Amino acid sequence: MNNKKKIFQSVLPATIAACMISMSTGSIAADSNPIKVGVMLPFSGVYAGLGESTRNGLKQALKEKGYTIAGRPVELIEMDTEAKPARAPEITSSLVDNQKADFVIGPVHSGVAMGMIKTIKGKDSIMIIPNAGANAATGAFCQPNVFRTSFSSWQTAFPMGKEAYDMGYKKIVTMSWNYGFGKESLEAFNESFTKAGGEVIKQMLVPFPKTEFQSYLTEIASINPDAVFVFFAGGGAVKFVKDYDAMGLKGKIPLLGSGFLTEGTTTAQGPAAEGVITTLHYADALDIPKNKSFRQDYEALYGKPADLFAVQGYDAGQLIVDAVTATNGNTADKAALIQQMGQLEIDSPRGAFHFSKSHNPIQTIYLRKVVDGQNTVVKTSYAGLEDPARGCKL
């Protein structure tokens, strides 16, 4: 009892003094409270690999600044979404309402993104999407406090339509899983391919996440189009590319895709991926100094090569660093912070980009071809491509 009293007596004046100091300096310089950054990524389940890469990239950007921006430490609060949309509102709410996070970074999965946007709408936190490509996130559901450092589905597939026509393909079969990302990619491809003068003679939608492709491939063989455009990602992409090759189609009907077909999957696809042509806003082998230094640092930090998801996470980190630096550490005035973010140019490993009015990157899309198991850049397909942001009123 006596001891406690003593401690209390010695601690109390110190506390009061500390309060007074912080009150007096608070009005002059920025406070030294931590900048709270909520991280909502899948750390378990099918998308765990993507979540891990994103977090690695994010941490790399923060580490470059010693986890301190404008004198304020950065505090990360990590939450596992398990890529389950049903969990999104609850986790978002705990970060935004209870933890009062300044920023919430996430998610990977578009379904989760929609749940997050609904919850964060009108709140005093800024959401930064490091992957989920649903067009609506910076389209019909766009919000002043929602930014995206990755891409819209539309951006990754639209340039390929024109490319395909320029390569001389007139009749094409398209195929993807029957879900948002896939359908949006096929629509964007269709839009530019038809406009150029080509014709999509059949669209095949496979129930998600089915990977038994034999019957579809048999049908493609019998239709015998000029080329095939597909959207598949991750494990499905590995299986599709291998099956396409095993059925003897690769030599006869060229395979085109949205970049995710060969992103992080070429090792598992092996020789079957050779020659597959895709469009995306990044390529591992991109010859830009920033990309080289980024990849070198990443490998030194984590002992494995960086991937697209790491780049997008890194840029989410850079966005926070640059914006909070620009406001001199002030995160209380969210309107000012948002305005800064909208004006920034991000020095990304994919090449510098800035944000559209709807807060989606205006960025360069590259035409890529798999050579020796790596996505090599054939050429710039579309410089400064802006998502049409259909339905966005910002």
Partner 1 sequence: MDTSLFLVQLLNGVQYGLLLFLIASGLTLVFGVMGILNLAHGSMYMIGAYLAYYFTTLTDSFLLAFIISGTIALVIGIIIERCLIIHLYKRDHLDQVLLTVGLIFVFNATQSFVWGNDPLGVEVPEILSGSIKLTDIVEYPVYRLFISLLCLVVAATMYFTINKTRLGMMIRAGESDRAMVENLGVDISKLFTIVFAIGVFLASLAGIVSAPIVSLVPGMGEHVLISCFVVVVIGGLGSIKGAFVAALIVGIADTYASVLLPQISSMSIYLLMALILLVKPQGLFKN
- Residue 219 as a binder of partner 1 (CB under 8 A): the answer is yes
List binders of partner 1 among 236-255 (CB under 8 A): 236-239, 242-243, 246-248
- Residue 166 as a binder of partner 1 (CB under 8 A): the answer is no
9-15-20 Cα angle (round to 5): 135
How far apart (Å, rounded) are the C-alpha atoms in residues 264 and 79?
A: 24
Q: Which position among 64, 90, 212, 333 is part of the footprint of partner 1 (CB under 8 A)? A: 212
CB 205, min distance to partner 1, A: 6
Q: Please list, in sequence order, all residues whose beta carbon lies within 8 angstroms of the beta carbon of residue 12, skipping any fewer than 6 positions away.
A: none
Q: Which position among 167, 200, 221, 362 is part of the footprint of partner 1 (CB under 8 A)? A: 221
How far apart (Å, rounded) are the C-alpha atoms in residues 387 and 3?
A: 66
- In this structure, the number of other CB atoms found within 10 A of the CB of residue 121 comes to 13
Q: Which is nearer to partner 1, 241 or 392 (CB)?
A: 241
Size of the site for partner 1 (CB under 8 A): 41
- Residue 305 as a binder of partner 1 (CB under 8 A): the answer is no
Give the DSSP letter of residue 33.
S
Q: Which position among 10, 222, 289, 303 is part of the footprint of partner 1 (CB under 8 A)? A: 222
CB 263, min distance to partner 1, A: 11
- Residue 349 as a binder of partner 1 (CB under 8 A): the answer is no
- Exposed (0-12), middle (13-18) or buried (19+): which is 35, by Cβ within 10 Å? buried
Give the DSSP letter of residue 34.
P
> Per this entry, what is the length of the chain?
394
Q: Which is nearer to partner 1, 24 or 215 (CB)?
A: 215
- Range in contact with partner 1 (rule: CB under 8 A) among 164-172, 199-207, 280-288, 348-356: 199-207
- Range in contact with partner 1 (rule: CB under 8 A) among 69-77, 118-126, 261-269, 342-350: 261-269
Distance of CA 150 to the CA centre of its chain: 3
Q: Which position among 34, 89, 234, 275 is part of the footprint of partner 1 (CB under 8 A)? A: 234
- Residue 48 as a binder of partner 1 (CB under 8 A): the answer is yes
Q: Which is nearer to partner 1, 92 or 375 (CB)?
A: 375
Residue with tokens 């578009």: 110
Q: Which position among 205, 288, 336, 362 is part of the footprint of partner 1 (CB under 8 A)? A: 205
Which candidate, 144, 155, 55, places its Cα nearest to that of 106?
Answer: 55
CB 265, min distance to partner 1, A: 6
- Range in contact with partner 1 (rule: CB under 8 A) among 30-38, 131-139, 235-243, 386-394: 235-243
The 3-42 contact track toward partner 1, x by CB under 8 A, reads ----------------------------------------
Q: Which position among 15, 22, 194, 224 is part of the footprint of partner 1 (CB under 8 A)? A: 224
CB 247, min distance to partner 1, A: 6
Q: Which position among 34, 45, 85, 144 is part of the footprint of partner 1 (CB under 8 A)? A: 45
- Cα-based distances in Å from 125 to 37, 100, 225, 315, 333: 10, 7, 49, 18, 10
Radius of gyration of the chain from Cα atoms? Answer: 23
The sign of the CA dihedral 55, 61, 67, 70 is: negative
Q: Which position among 9, 27, 98, 215 is part of the footprint of partner 1 (CB under 8 A)? A: 215
Tell me the DSSP string of 173-232: EEEEESSHHHHHHHHHHHHHHHHHT-EEEEEEEEPTT----HHHHHHHHHH--SEEEEE-
Binding site for partner 1 (CB under 8 A): 44-46, 48-49, 52, 178, 204-212, 214-216, 218-219, 221-222, 224, 234-239, 242-243, 246-248, 264-265, 267-270
